Amino acid sequence: MEAKTAEFTSNVARAIADSQLQGTMTETGPRFIEKRAKARAGLPEFDALRDQARDIKDHVLAHLDLYLERYEAKVVESGGHVHWAETAEEARAAILGICRKLDAKLATKGKSMISEEIGLNQALEAAGVTPVETDLGEYLIQLRNEPPSHIIAPAVHLTRDQIEADFRKAHTHLDPNRDLTEIPTLVEEARTVLRQKYLDADVGITGANFLIAETGTSIIVTNEGNGDLTQTLPKAHIVIASIEKIVPTLEDATTILRVLARSATGQDFSNYTTFSTGPRRPEDPDGPGEYHVVILDNGRSNVLGTEFQDMLRCIRCGACLNHCPVYQAVGGHAYGWVYPGPIGSVVTPALIGIEKAKHLPNASTFCGRCEEVCPMRIPLPRLLRHWREKEFEKHLTPGAVRTGLGVWAYFAKRPKLYQFGTRVAARLLSVMSGKKGRLASLPLAQGWTRYRDMPAPQGKTFQAMWKERRHG
């Protein structure tokens, strides 16, 4: 997917001016938070499970090669194929190769962020394979040709009215006078349209929440059951997943599953948790004839062993987005690439380069709410700060900021000079404010005074007054 991360500032301005978006964000944001809080309260060992989940992934990341090899051997043993893809291009090529062999015309798809990351739909279309998203949210944004705005709720930015209009535009074979005012009716219509696609599809493509080294199994969690139909009905099931999805055992997967849905939607468990191991066996009543797993690196292995490694623990639950006041203010599209929110601001620079994504790590107040709720205990503010350090090292920090910081640091390291400066500033700003105690505008601080008044200093610095009091 093409990155629009460099236009962050204008993306933000557009998002803030979009009253429809602001309305949906205000409505949906608090709901995710309440549900997670309730789920967490209902499980006394929740925080202990977070520690276990973190430890499992840390162990995997320390022995990633070992577990990936073990996983591959098990997939092959169960009759499946593993395709290693170092880049997005290699991943697309592997999938298109499978489609070509099967002479595929139609591909149904379960929800997959990796598919978005590698721009799979566009590649399929260009190769003459029609992709159909079967996750309702993904289906909605596919109709609009938009990227997801949230990791687990891709269409969270849309209103019911927008969805109704899109359905009327897309489903022209249905009665134009049908009643679509109720949400269940919209869901039913999508279900009916998609049902036939499952039956007609040549390949089914899904992501994976986990790859299990012990058994060669891939796991997906869904709430609509669309993933099951996507992967069992067509001739081939293609799983697309990134290297860090691996866990050693089934037991490990179930530990992490206990924190996943609770953190994501506030459910104890997702409606469907589907385990897939290899293609259909002779004694199976159904299942795909072929089972392929495309394992993507796309820059992730470069993160191993660096100060950024913790990001690879992420299980894409979306809790950090739901709790992030910046995400809640601007929505997912403003971030300009596949992964929004705090985790997106950490992952995106690693995958597309800090030069292109330099705004993202800066657009945070470091309030720390993301880290507070992360089920995998990823220290998100610290990782964001590490990106700022990289920017500073590479001289990507804007000139004005760098100069301002340099001047400030020069003073901060010279207490006598600093205190002289603050005495002058306190006096000056206080005089400028008159008797009002605040300034409505201030040169060099327009970022502040555009939206709020600047409280004025009381007139003398504490240091000066303290000295007077002591020696006075």
Partner 1 sequence: MELTRPRVGLFVTCLVDLFRPSVGFATVKLLEEAGCVVEVPESQTCCGQPAFNSGDRKDTADIARAVIKAFSPYDYVVAPSGSCAGMIKAHYPELFATGSPDRAAADALAAKTYELVSFLVRVMKQEKVAARFDGSATYHDSCSGLRELGVKAEPRKLLRTVEGLDLVEMEDAEVCCGFGGTFCVKYPDISNVMVAKKTKKIAATGADLLLAGDLGCLMNMAGKLKREGSTLKARHVAEILAGDTATPPIAEGE
Complex with partner 1: residue 128 or 398, whichever CB lies closer = 398
Complex with partner 1: residue 275 or 408, whichever CB lies closer = 408
Question: Shortest Cβ distance from residue 229 to partner 1 (Å)?
Answer: 40
Task: Kindly tell me the burial class for residue 274, based on how many C-beta atoms sit within 10 Å of its own C-beta (0-12, 13-18, 19 or more).
Answer: buried
Question: Shortest Cβ distance from residue 359 to partner 1 (Å)?
Answer: 9
Complex with partner 1: residue 229 or 360, whichever CB lies closer = 360
Complex with partner 1: residue 13 or 199, whichever CB lies closer = 13
| Cα angle 4, 156, 133; round to 5 | 80
How far is it, in rounded angstroms, from Cα 158 to Cα 358? 28
How many Cα atoms sit within 13 Å of 29 on the Cβ side?
A: 19
Complex with partner 1: residue 128 or 404, whichever CB lies closer = 404
Question: Shortest Cβ distance from residue 11 to partner 1 (Å)?
Answer: 11
Question: Shortest Cβ distance from residue 361 to partner 1 (Å)?
Answer: 9
Question: Shortest Cβ distance from residue 418 to partner 1 (Å)?
Answer: 5
Closest CA to 372 of 33, 145, 68: 33
Q: Are 297 and 86 in contact (CB under 8 A)?
A: yes
Complex with partner 1: residue 309 or 422, whichever CB lies closer = 422
Question: Shortest Cβ distance from residue 267 to partner 1 (Å)?
Answer: 24
How far is it, in rounded angstroms, from Cα 243 to Cα 246? 6
Could you tell me how far CA 101 lies from the centroid of its own chain?
Answer: 33
Q: Are 294 and 72 in contact (CB under 8 A)?
A: no
Binding residues for partner 1, per CB under 8 A? 9, 12-13, 16, 325-326, 329-330, 362-369, 371-372, 385, 387-393, 397, 401, 405, 408-409, 411-413, 415, 418-419, 422, 425-426, 433-438, 440, 445, 447-448, 450-458, 460-463, 465-467
Complex with partner 1: residue 73 or 401, whichever CB lies closer = 401
Q: Are 358 and 28 in contact (CB under 8 A)?
A: no
> Which distant-in-sequence residues (6+ apart) come within 8 Å of 58 by Cβ?
313
Q: By three-state DSSP, how is residue 69 classified?
A: helix
Question: Shortest Cβ distance from residue 27 to partner 1 (Å)?
Answer: 13
How far is it, in rounded angstroms, from Cα 260 to Cα 374? 10
What Rg, from alpha-carbon coordinates, does the chain have? Answer: 26
DSSP secondary structure letters along 185-219: HHHHHHHHHHHHHHHH-SEEEE--SEEETTTTEEE
Q: Say which DSSP state 244 is in.
A: G
Phi-psi category of residue 239: left, alpha or beta, with phi > 0 → left and psi -120 to 50 → alpha: beta
Question: Shortest Cβ distance from residue 447 to partner 1 (Å)?
Answer: 3
Q: Say which DSSP state 280 is in.
A: -
Q: Say which DSSP state 377 is in.
A: -
Backbone angles phi, psi at 295, to 5 degrees: -105, 120
Complex with partner 1: residue 107 or 439, whichever CB lies closer = 439
Complex with partner 1: residue 227 or 318, whichever CB lies closer = 318
Closest CA to 159 of 185, 140, 133: 140
Question: Shortest Cβ distance from residue 41 to partner 1 (Å)?
Answer: 16
Question: Shortest Cβ distance from residue 92 to partner 1 (Å)?
Answer: 35
Question: Shortest Cβ distance from residue 363 to partner 1 (Å)?
Answer: 5
Complex with partner 1: residue 173 or 413, whichever CB lies closer = 413
What are residue 274's DSSP bridge partners? 220
How far is it, in rounded angstroms, from Cα 135 to Cα 123? 19
How far is it, in rounded angstroms, from Cα 271 to Cα 221? 8
Complex with partner 1: residue 10 or 87, whichever CB lies closer = 10
